[in-house]
């Protein structure tokens, strides 16, 4: 790139989506997409599910490929690492000492697994990349023993996949219950029961004391004095936003790279999107949030591209999360914390939808657990109501025979 163009650091969901959206939005100049991994851009959600459960050799779940990049004249730099951003010169420097000039820059650097600092932590594995997934997968199967540290989405999805592959699984969670962050207790308890029914040894309210690494297996010591033998120990205790480049470049940080309502950082020529950034959300009184979610990365990638092209639109998409574990599907639209009232709706086949209302009656969030066919449409309709700041009748929400779609017409 001899002339300044659009430069995107990070080739995940947000970055790859932004590169495509720039072309679709009419940008005709150079676009450079920079990714640290040597693989083409790929989806991360399947790593804990489809990749683990594949019958044969797992296939990389691509979101971008060379032919598509060539078609759109996008320069994809694989296996490249940005070492510095020069805001004054408007260039980024790569680890091979190349410098790329930019007209606008997007930081889509994502997040990295939070590391555990305990005795014996060299035995721990983490799940973030395709290579990580293959390493963990190789240790699963009948007769193998897996210990998962952390009862969040990644840990529980991996536990479900490991059980379906025949491995024995123990999940250790320091909090009083699984899925403490963002999932109502009613639904978390339902998932916990499903895991126990599947044979998972689920232990909550207990810390890891230390790990004794071994050549063939590892000993995992808990704070209550018990010891678990494991062939594989995976830590899934959350993620931290990758803000190193932004910090050294002097950009404002606040639980990630701080952006405004248009996803613009404290530098008007630099945007940020996806897991790495925090942003104010108008549906929640301008509260600054950071989301580690596939849909958010998709939505923000497209929105950041529009911002790079000068649209100046506020980002207003309703937060949305999902998880598949065994035959259960979990979906959450909106943010339930801050809700004053919860309304439960029985939608059949053991599925349930919870509607979370603010004190003024506004619908803040909806969360559902059960077969996907029972909850997906309901949560999607609720998502539209949340976007409209609707104040639906609680009795209508509770009635399984009431059509939520009629609330949208009203």
Q: Residue 1: pLDDT band by 50, 70, 90 thresholds? A: low
| Spatial strand order in the sheet of 145-149 | 124-125, 232-235, 145-149, 168-173, 201-204
Mean pLDDT of the region 226-238: 97
Q: Residue 348: pLDDT band by 50, 70, 90 thresholds? A: very high
Tell whether the model's pLDDT for residue 8 goes beyond 90. yes
Concatenated DSSP letters of 68-79: HHHHTTEEEEET
Please provide the CATH number assigned to the domain covering 115-235.
3.50.50.60
* Contact between 369 and 376 (Cβ < 8 Å): no
Mean pLDDT of the region 361-365: 97
Q: What is the pLDDT of residues 158-204, one digit of tens each?
A: 999 999 999 999 999 999 999 998 899 999 999 999 999 999 999 99
Pick the CATH number of 327-409 from 3.40.50.1220, 3.40.190.10, 3.30.390.30, 3.30.160.70: 3.30.390.30
Share of the chain above pLDDT 70, in %: 99
Return the H-helix or E-strand segment holding 363: strand 363-370
pLDDT of the residue at 216? 87
Tokens for 224? 């209550």
Mean pLDDT of the region 357-361: 97
Q: Residue 3: pLDDT band by 50, 70, 90 thresholds? A: confident
pLDDT of the residue at 317? 98
pLDDT of the residue at 66? 67
3-state secondary structure of 1: coil
CATH 3.30.390.30 domain residues, the chain: 327-409
CA distance 283 to 280: 9
pLDDT of the residue at 87? 98
Give me the chain's average pLDDT, please: 96
Pick the CATH number of 5-112+240-308 from 3.50.50.60, 3.40.30.10, 3.40.50.1820, 3.30.420.40: 3.50.50.60
CATH 3.50.50.60 domain residues, the chain: 5-112+240-308, 115-235
**Structure pTM?**
0.96
* Contact between 106 and 269 (Cβ < 8 Å): no
pLDDT of the residue at 338? 83
Compute how many other C-beta atoms are within 10 angstroms of the C-beta atom of residue 286: 10
Taking Cα atoms as reference points, which of 26, 59, 88, 54 lies closest to residue 269?
88
CA distance 292 to 111: 8
Contacts of 240 (CB under 8 A, 6+ apart): 111, 112, 114
Q: What is the pLDDT of residues 288-323, one digit of tens each?
A: 999 999 999 999 999 999 999 999 899 999 999 999
DSSP 33: E
Count, residues in the chain: 410
């Amino acid at each position: 790139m001899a002339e300044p163009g659009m430069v995107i650091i990070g080739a995940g969901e947000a970055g790859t989506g932004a590169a495509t959206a720039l072309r679709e939005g009419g940008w005709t100049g150079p676009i450079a997409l920079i990714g640290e991994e040597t693989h083409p851009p790929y989806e991360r959600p399947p790593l804990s599910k489809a990749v683990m459960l594949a019958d044969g050799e797992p296939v990389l779940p691509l979101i971008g490929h060379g032919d598509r990049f060539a078609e759109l004249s996008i320069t994809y730099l694989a296996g490249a690492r940005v070492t510095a951003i020069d805001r004054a010169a408007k260039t980024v420097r790569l680890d091979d000492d190349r410098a790329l000039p930019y007209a606008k820059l997007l930081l889509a650097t994502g997040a990295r697994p939070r590391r555990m600092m305990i005795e014996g932590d060299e035995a721990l594995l983490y799940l973030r990349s395709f290579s990580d997934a293959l390493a963990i997968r190789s240790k699963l199967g009948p007769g193998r023993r897996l210990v998962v540290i952390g009862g969040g989405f990644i840990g529980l999805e991996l536990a479900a996949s490991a059980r379906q592959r025949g491995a024995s699984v123990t999940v250790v969670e320091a909090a009083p219950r699984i899925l403490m962050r963002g999932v109502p207790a009613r639904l978390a308890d339902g998932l916990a029961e499903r895991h126990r029914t599947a044979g998972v040894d689920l232990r909550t309210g207990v810390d890891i004391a230390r790990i004794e690494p071994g050549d063939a297996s590892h000993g995992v010591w808990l704070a209550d004095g018990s010891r678990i033998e494991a062939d594989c120990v995976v830590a899934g205790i959350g993620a931290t936003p990758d803000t190193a480049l932004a910090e050294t470049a002097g950009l404002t940080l606040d639980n990630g790279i701080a952006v405004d309502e248009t996803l613009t950082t404290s530098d008007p020529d630099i945007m940020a999107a996806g897991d790495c950034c925090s942003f104010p959300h108008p549906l929640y009184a301008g509260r600054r949030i950071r989301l580690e979610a596939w849909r958010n990365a998709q939505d923000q990638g497209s929105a950041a591209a529009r911002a790079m092209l000068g649209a100046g639109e506020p980002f207003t998409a309703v937060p949305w999360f999902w998880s598949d574990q065994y035959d259960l599907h979990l979906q959450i639209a909106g943010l339930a914390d801050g809700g004053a009232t919860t309304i439960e709706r029985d939608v059949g086949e053991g599925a349930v939808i919870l509607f979370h209302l603010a004190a003024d009656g506004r619908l803040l969030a909806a969360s559902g657990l059960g077969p996907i066919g029972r909850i997906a449409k309901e949560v999607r309709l609720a998502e539209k109501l949340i976007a409209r700041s609707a104040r639906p009748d609680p009795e209508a929400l509770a009635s399984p025979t009431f059509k939520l779609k009629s609330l949208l017409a009203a």
